[in-house]
Structure 1
Amino acid sequence: MADVRIQGVTKSFGDTVATDDLDLTIKDGEFVVLLGPTGAGKTTTLRLIAGLERPDSGTIHIGGHDATTLSPAERDTAFVFQQYSLYPHLSVFDNLAFPLRSPARRFPEEAVRRRVEEVARMVRIDHKLDNRSTKLSGGEMQRVAIGRALVRKPAIYLMDEPLSSLDAKLRADLRLELKRIQSELGATMLYV
C-alpha cells in the first residue's frame, strides 16, 4: 500500500471547475471518505488519482512517486465503480482472477487460485466461485466487484459509490464489511 498526495490540483470541464486547487493527503493504510453533493468533484478526484483524467494543474504523488503524467496502468490503483461491471460470461472465480491474468501481471495459475480463494473468503462469496455472475444477487455481484479489486493488492483502492445501488440494509452491512477488509489488509482506501 502507499500514501497519496494531491497538491494544487485543478481540473475543469469547459466552464465547469470540478476541482479547484485541491490539496489532499491520504496516509498509507488510511480509510478516507469523500462526502459531498453531486457535482462537488468527488468522482473527478478518484478519476484524477487513477489517471483516467489529467489535471489542468497540480501534481499527484502515489507512494512517493510523481504519478501526474503516468497512464492508468502505471499507477497501481484499483477502481471499484458504482455499477458492478462484471463479465457476465465468466464465473465468479474467473471474474476475480481476471486482473491477475492480465498481460501486465501474468501470475502463475496456482498463485491465481490461492489469491482468488483467499479474497473470496474475505468478501464471503467463496461458496459461489463456480457460479456465473448473472446468477448472483446484487449484493453478491458487488462483493465480486470489490473482490476483483482486492486480488491485485494495489497501492490504493478507489471506490466510487460502490454500494449505492443496493438496498439500505445490505448497504449498511457491506460498509461494515469494507471497513473490516480494509483493516485486515492494512489497505489505503479512498471511498466516495
Structure 2
Amino acid sequence: MSGFVDEAQLNVRGGDGGAGCVSFRREGPVAFGGPNGGDGGKGGDIWLVADRNVSSLIAFRDHPHRRAENGVHGQGKDLHGRRGKELIVKVPEGTVVSDMYTGELLADLANHGDRWLAAAGGRGGRGNAKFLSNRRRAPSFAEQGEHGEERWLKLEIKLMADVALVGFPNVGKSTLISVISA
C-alpha cells in the first residue's frame, strides 16, 4: 500500500572532487622531464527538480540520503579527471525546501521544471603541472580534491485546494459534502 507523504527530511551531499596527479614526463631520451600531472575532476552536483509526475515524498521516507558521484582523479600526461555525474532528485510540484536546522526557506519549487541546486560538488585538486614556476622547476606535490557540500533539508508540499467551503457552525457544511460525495 502506498501512502501520501507531504513532509520529509533529505540529506544531500555533492560529490568530492578528484585528486590532482603527481607525474613527470618520461619520453625516450628525456630522462627527467618536467611535471605533467593532470587536475582532478569536479564532484557532481545535486539538483532538486519539480516534476508533475511525482505526487508524494514517500521515496524519501525510508531512504533519505542522496549522494552525487565523485570526480575522477587526474592522471599523467596532463590528463584531467572526468567530472562526477550530477544527480537529479525529482520532487512534486509545490515543494518548499528549507534548512532542517535553521528553518531558513531555501527554495520554492512551484512549477514543473523548476530547478534548485541543493548541494554543489567539490572542486577538483590541481596536478603538479599547475605548480610549476621559475623557482619550483619540479614540484613533487598536488592538491587533494575538495569535499562536496552536505546539508539536511526539510521538504514540504504546499497543498492547494480547488474549492473551499466556509460557513458558520451548524449550517450544514458536512451534510452538503456527504450529499455531494455520496
Pair in the same fold by TM > 0.5: no
The structure with more helix, counted as a fraction of residues = 1
- Normalised by the length of structure 1, the TM-score is 0.22
Q: Choose 1 or 2 for highest CA Rg.
A: 2
- Normalised by the length of structure 2, the TM-score is 0.23
